[in-house]
Amino acid sequence: MSSTDNPKDRLLAVQRLQELELDEAQILQARLEKAAAAQRQRLGVLEAGLDEDRRLEVTLMASATGVSVEALRQLRMYLHAQSQDLLQQQEILSKAEVEADTARLSVVGNFERLSATRRLRERRAAEASVQQLRAQFKKFDDMAIVTKRNA
């Protein structure tokens, strides 16, 4: 008979496995949250740069000296390229946030399973304790009956 044949030992093994899974899920969640935060920061930098370049475009167009058509065309192409980069970064951020949310839900699920296993172990330990007490009381009652008969 191996040590895992005992239901008590099996529950302990399951609990330890679930604790490891929870730890791994928390590490993954933290890593994904950090990646999403870095992506948010990159997106903010791109937005700030695009806003600055748009202000430059308005300033150049409103200046008294004017701006050449070719320079304006180049600037607009650059702004369009920056807008495309911004859209790509927003898509990447959305994916990163979805992954982080999925990881968060995984952590919650792992925690719930671990909590259920812990409660089951506690309940079974309490039941075993009650059974042990009942067996001892029965033994004491039997001993009292035998003592009474012998007396």
For residues 32 and 99, is the Cβ–Cβ distance under 8 A? Answer: yes
Residues with Cβ within 8 Å of 18's Cβ and at least 6 positions away in sequence, in order, are 110, 113, 114, 117
- Half-sphere exposure (CA, 13 Å, Cβ side) for 85? 16
Structure tokens at 7: 């239901």
Domains and CATH numbers, the chain: 3-125 (1.10.287)
**Which amino acid is located at 10 in the chain?**
R
pLDDT for the residue numbered 151 = 63
Alpha-carbon radius of gyration of the chain: 34
pLDDT for the residue numbered 5 = 65
- Cα-based angle 75, 79, 80 (whole degrees, multiple of 5): 115
Q: pTM for the complete prediction?
A: 0.71
pLDDT (tens, 9 = 90+) of the chain, 151 residues, equals 455 567 678 989 999 999 999 999 999 999 999 999 999 999 999 999 999 999 988 888 888 787 888 888 998 999 999 999 999 999 999 999 999 999 999 999 999 999 999 999 999 999 999 999 999 988 888 787 767 777 6
Residue keyed to tokens 């009474």: 148
pLDDT for the residue numbered 1 = 44
**Which amino acid is located at 23 in the chain?**
D
> Cα(12)–Cα(80) distance, rounded to whole angstroms?
60
